[in-house]
A = this chain, B = another copy of it.
Amino acid sequence: MNDTTSTSRRRLKEARPQQLLDAALELFVEKGFAATRAEEVAQRAGVSKGTLYLYYPSKEELLKAVIREHLSSRIAAGAAAAEQHRGPVAELLREVFSRWWLEVFDSPTSGVFKLVITEVRNFPEIAEFYLNEVIRPAEELVAGIVQRGIHSGEFESLDIPNVVHSLCLPMVMLCVHKHSVGACTEHRVGFEPHEFVRAHVDLIVRGLLRTRGARRAAAA
């Protein structure tokens, strides 16, 4: 057992799960779980059908692994940023959304939203997972920020859950759209998602601000 050789095999073996997860995510998002053949996943990962089953005991377990991998809370970072933030809350909102957006929308993770939507009804365990790892933390994070704005007098005192949804749902919907209708057409050539995020947060913030003075500051 010399180190070099055994290492090259080990490296291969250690890389497999990620290769398989990546391939699976792509295909499950694209075609749906049921319509994706296990062999396709293997092929796209560059291995044979049998190899897939060395790493995951069934197609279903592969699905769950794919989802689990991408839902490990990316939200912690946002929470940390929120805590350290000083200055106008409006600014914080823009920052948090932009950052999340950069990390999610352009990465394969954005596909997981479509995947979850597509498959929860068939695999209800996913729902609990998604709720605990994504929805709940995200809502808490955003609700906390809005609450801060209200408390500081910066924002009007509106119903917080509603505001949270107004802020977040379009983001999620764009992720979903990107991997469904958006992948099939060149609709709205001029539409630029990244610009939209900023515009959307700005628009909502304008709706939240209490005074004309504050609104001017936000627009600055």
Contact = CB atoms under 8 A, between A and B. Distances in A.
Contacts of A117: 114, 117-118, 176-177, 180-181
Q: Report which residue of A187, A191, A202 has the largest number of chain B beta carbons within 10 angstroms of its beta carbon.
A: A187
B185 A131 contact: yes
Interface stretch (A39-47, A63-71, A164-172): A164-172
Contacts of A121: 30-32, 179-180, 183-184
Contact of A32 (B34, B179, B202, B212): B34
A174 interface: yes
A204 B176 CA distance: 22
A128 interface: yes
Contacts of A205: 207
Interface in A186-220: 187-188, 190-191, 195-196, 199-200, 202-208, 212
A191 B161 contact: yes
Interface residues of A, number: 57
Interface string A125-141: 00110110001000000
B31 A122 contact: yes
Interface in A106-123: 114, 116-122
Contacts of A163: 199, 203
A159 interface: yes
A173 B195 CA distance: 20
A127 B212 contact: no
A120 B199 contact: no
Contact of A184 (B118, B120, B156): B120
Interface of A: 30-35, 114, 116-122, 124, 127-128, 130-131, 135, 156, 158-159, 161-163, 165-166, 169-170, 172-174, 176-177, 179-181, 183-185, 187-188, 190-191, 195-196, 199-200, 202-208, 212
Given A121-B183, A176-B176, 4 more contacts: A32-B33, A116-B181, A121-B179, A172-B173
